[in-house]
Structure 1
Amino acid sequence: MPKIILHTEINAPIDVCFDLSRSIDLHQISTNQTSERAIDGVTTGLIGLNETVTWEATHYGITQRLTSKITAFQRPFYFVDEQQKGAFKLIIHEHKFEQKHGKTFMEDCFYFESPYGIFGKIFNFLTLENHLKKLLLKRNEVIKFYAESEKWKSVLAEKNYAKKP
């Protein structure tokens, strides 16, 4: 099963990074190139444990839908979303967060499996893994940009993130 592991260092509090990572609104901003939008379940705000969201997006010229569910959740350190319905045979996305020396270290572990046996494996090798990695890198760039600037306040309710002494 292919997996993509990414590490992102963010100069921002762990709570802000964690919540930006589960923000439906920020996800839509980070995926504007695929016109991704939430169409069912939690469609705005923050998604939490046992909640689902259905995304609609265009990839490779084909409009697709994918429903994912938050199956594990330990704020602000860890959450997992897993595909419930969609084109993939399997998607599991682990989001891990650690704070050290005033910075947040974010790790994404993205596991996926395509359908169609050997043809799916060839497609993974030729193009899909690279495509998914680019989407995740773009998403993490947007999270980092929003977290390190004042822009996070436009996505998250500022009152929940008062600076700690």
Structure 2
Amino acid sequence: MFKIHLETVIHADIYKVFDLARDIDLHQKSTFRTGEKAIAGRTSGLIWQGETVTWKARHLGIVQTLTTKIVTMQKPDHFTDVMLQGAFRSMKHQHLFRHEGKNTIMTDIFEFESPFGIIGKIFNTLFLRNYMKKFLLERNRLIKSTAESVDLFDKKPTYIK
């Protein structure tokens, strides 16, 4: 099992960051390079505990689908999604949030295992771990920039629809 641990400091309210991290529409914007789209289950808005989403995207030149389910959620502290179907042998993504002064610390703990035994482990070590880390960092950059931005006309956060 491989693990990626990321911490992102965001100068914004913990509730706002929590909601942005589970916003299907924002996730799709962050993954425009892979053309990731929600095609089943929750396909827009905020995902909740017990809900699923199926994603379709082109990764490594191959169109793939991945279905995940939110298995735990305690607003605004954490939520966890796990893979139900997809290319990984297993996948678990913990999203943790905590206040620190005027900031929210958003922590991702992404655990995954590839199929194909030793070949999968070599692939993880040589390529997939870095690929997934970049994928998560791009998502986190958009969450951070959205959470920290304010509409200059009405001073409401730009993530409010």
Look up the SS of the partner of 1:47 in the other structure.
Answer: coil
2:149/2:158 contact within 8 Å kept:
no
Tell me the CA shift for residue 153 of structure 1.
Answer: 4.2
Greater share of helix residues, 1 or 2? 1
Q: Which residue of 2 aligns with 1:55?
A: 55
1:6-21 aligned at under 5 Å gives the runs: 6-21=6-21
Tell me the CA shift for residue 101 of structure 1.
Answer: 1.0
Tell me the CA shift for residue 122 of structure 1.
Answer: 0.8
Distance in 1 (alpha carbons) for counterparts of 2:145 and 2:83: 27
Q: Which residue of 2 aligns with 1:34?
A: 34
User: Is residue 85 from structure 1 mapped to residue 85 from structure 2 by the alignment?
Assistant: yes
Gaps of 5+ in 2: none
Q: How many equivalent pairs are there?
A: 157
Tell me the CA shift for residue 100 of structure 1.
Answer: 1.8
2:78/2:95 contact within 8 Å kept:
yes
Gaps of 5+ in 1: 158-165
User: Is residue 156 from structure 1 mapped to residue 155 from structure 2 by the alignment?
Assistant: no
Give me the TM-score of the superposition, normalised by structure 1: 0.92
1:20/1:156 contact within 8 Å kept:
no
Greater Cα shift, 145-154 or 64-73: 145-154
1:124-135 aligned at under 5 Å gives the runs: 124-135=124-135
Give me the TM-score of the superposition, normalised by structure 2: 0.95
Look up the SS of the partner of 1:150 in the other structure.
Answer: coil
1:94/1:108 contact within 8 Å kept:
yes
Residue 82 of structure 2 aligns to which amino acid in structure 1? E
Percent sequence identity is: 52
Distance in 2 (alpha carbons) for counterparts of 1:89 and 1:153: 39
